Structure 1
Amino acid sequence: MATLESPETIPSKLTGPGHPEWQYLDLMRRIWEGGSERIDRTGIGTRSIAGAMLRFDLADGAMPLLTTKRVYWKTATREMLWFLTGETNIRPLVLQGVKIWNEWPHARYVKETGDNIALDDFVQRIADDEEFARQWGDLGPVYGKQWVDWPTYRYRKDGLYERGPGINQVAEVVESLRNNPGSRRHIIEGWNVAELDRMALPPCHKTYQFHVAGGRLNCMLYQRSCDVALGLPFNLWSAALLQRMIAQQTGLEPGELVWMGGDVHLYLNHEHLITEQLSREPQGNPTLEITRKPDTIFDYTIDDFVVHDYAPQAPIKAPVAV
């Protein structure tokens, strides 16, 4: 079995002991067996390590889509497309049946109003009542807002500042990759220090950097906080998806996805998930086909993506820590 310390030795196309998913399973095992037990923000408790790296080769349509449990890649894809709109309200996701952000505005609503409404009932009101959604469904200036509309301010002669035009980091990176591929500034940053206190959750997958070599587009993602059991399977798919879209838009071939985690942890109440998943072995090599090339990075739809040869083992459910 490959080890976490030498992920670069893991072939990207093999099944069995050389399967790239062993990197993920080895990381999970390392944290669970040797991580530092800590009380975290949620009060649930975690086992955590500092610093980890995983590498995946995306050549020939390969994607880091886990096979040891079902990963709902369409849900993760819809979230990524939502990020690219710059939207921060959960209602467009709710209307598509995407549930991954529902707990945060629900918790805020219960705390601020004292109305202990059930989560499902709250989500239904978001879907049915546009005004209610405007008031209670917004997450603050999270991911997409920073990616495509980073705020700027201009100094005025009276000594005050006024709002300037927002910066579309995604569009600028696409143009930079086309016109200056050797640059070391192909970065999309979500960690806007001045606005963290307005966000329902500060960005976990915070910094994306792109690198061109030999006609291939590589992506390095730094994730400051990572829930390995529930979050990381989505994060790996989403980062690879963004990389694939940008590669297509810039006429490059997909290269390596290099994922780097800061506080990398498992929640103590996920023990059943961890035990079950570590008893399984990876199988198969799913691939992603992008069926058309839209005019811009912002014009993809869910129907543009088709996954082939994905036959995962059964899903494993566990609670989300809010």
Structure 2
Amino acid sequence: MASVPTVDDSSSQARHYEWQYLELMRRIWETGDERTDRTGVGTRSIFGTTLRFDLADGAMPLITSKRVYWKTATRELLWFLTGDTNIRKLCAQGVEIWTDWPLDKYRRETGEEITREDFSKRIVEDAAFAERWGDLGPVYGKQWVDWPTYRYGPDGKYERGPGINQVAEVVESLKNNPGSRRHIIEGWNVAELDTMALPPCHKTYQFHVADGRLNGLMYQRSCDVALGLPFNLWSAALLQRMLAQQAGLEPGEFVWMGGDTHLYLNHEELVETQLQREPAGNPVLELGRKPDSIFDYRIEDFEIRGYSPQSPLKAPVAV
């Protein structure tokens, strides 16, 4: 097993923000409880973990010991903010983060061994096919911007009420009541979990204003450290940066908290390779403009400087 310096190592390299991520990976791989999981692949897991990153001066927790496709993660975040739950618009942009779940369902229900590439192509080209097979249920974005409410109507029947846009409400509360302890975006809608392709992993976001800086905390109930966490760190920090800009605040500290924090057993080659690498560089995010709304950002609004990652590392996704 490759040796990874601990986060309190006195060397300048050990103080790089990424060492805490690599140390977490090493600790899970060496000491995690080996267990059977939902996917049947098996994991090594620890519980209750924390990482902290300072977002001042444009800094972002972008992993450098392997290439992270931050534009793909950004497109996913922008998709969440639309409230869309169908993969068609993602696939049209070449974003396949969510394709495996509907593809798996399609294969099981039809018996057709269609390739991922052909399935995604058909999703993009055939609206009726996409409507039938591309919907994920009320996943993240639906809960974020259209959390369902219910009420008794004039006829005494229980009916659907207006949805709650949690993101819009947080923007307004940050502007008008910055000292509130209720700047929260929640994805864990217990009543709808069974209708989601995958219940939310990064489930709860909370924000805190101090001295004109916006701090953010994201709690993740289940975390695939090798493949998922680099995307999750980027996306959550990006959302915090966008909220800070919309509320007229400076970015502060980003805190990530993990519940079941794990590595899949079939990610051994990736883990062993990454733990032999050292992080380097300090990528900086520039926001090209301030849109009128948190919902009006475009992929062209984001630019990264100083990102020179090492080569990509691939591993299978557990569905």
Under TM normalisation by the shorter chain, which class is it? over 0.9
CA contact (8 A) 1:2 1:23 kept: no
* Inter-partner Cα distance in structure 2 for 1:10 and 1:143: 38
Which residue type is aligned with residue 56 of structure 1? F
* Inter-partner Cα distance in structure 1 for 2:130 and 2:218: 32
How far apart are residue 2 of structure 1 and its match? 6.4
Q: 2:54 aligns with which of 48, 54, 57?
A: 57
Q: Aligned in 2, Cα 1:135/1:15: closer, same or farther, shift over 3 Å?
A: farther
Q: TM-score, normalised by structure 2?
A: 0.97
- CA offsets per residue over residues 156-209 of structure 1, 9 Å max, x none? 355421111100000000000000000000000000000000000000000000
2:41 alignment counterpart: 44
Q: Determine helix, strand or coil for the equivalent of 1:264.
A: strand
2:218 is aligned with 1:231:
no
Q: Determine helix, strand or coil for the equivalent of 2:114.
A: coil
Which residue type is aligned with residue 245 of structure 2? Q
* Inter-partner Cα distance in structure 2 for 1:289 and 1:187: 25
1:240 alignment counterpart: 237
2:19 alignment counterpart: 22
CA contact (8 A) 1:249 1:297 kept: yes
CA contact (8 A) 1:2 1:18 kept: no
1:198 alignment counterpart: 195
* Inter-partner Cα distance in structure 2 for 1:10 and 1:312: 22
Q: Aligned in 2, Cα 1:20/1:212: closer, same or farther, shift over 3 Å?
A: same
Q: Determine helix, strand or coil for the equivalent of 2:52.
A: strand
Q: Determine helix, strand or coil for the equivalent of 1:243.
A: helix
CA contact (8 A) 2:183 2:207 kept: yes
CA contact (8 A) 2:25 2:271 kept: yes
1:142 alignment counterpart: 139
Which residue type is aligned with residue 130 of structure 1? A
Q: Aligned in 2, Cα 1:10/1:52: closer, same or farther, shift over 3 Å?
A: farther
Runs (5+) with no aligned partner, structure 2: none
Q: Determine helix, strand or coil for the equivalent of 2:79.
A: helix
The count of corresponding residues between Structure 1 and Structure 2 is: 316
RMSD value, Cα: 1.4
- CA offsets per residue over residues 120-153 of structure 1, 9 Å max, x none? 1111110111110011000000000000000011
* Inter-partner Cα distance in structure 2 for 1:306 and 1:282: 20
2:259 alignment counterpart: 262
2:168 alignment counterpart: 171
1:114 alignment counterpart: 111
* Inter-partner Cα distance in structure 2 for 1:49 and 1:114: 37
CA contact (8 A) 2:6 2:14 kept: no
CA contact (8 A) 1:49 1:264 kept: yes
Q: TM-score, normalised by structure 1?
A: 0.96
* Inter-partner Cα distance in structure 2 for 1:15 and 1:237: 23
1:75 alignment counterpart: 72
1:217 alignment counterpart: 214
* Inter-partner Cα distance in structure 2 for 1:169 and 1:216: 21
How far apart are residue 10 of structure 1 and its match? 9.1
Identity, % of aligned pairs? Answer: 75
Runs (5+) with no aligned partner, structure 1: none
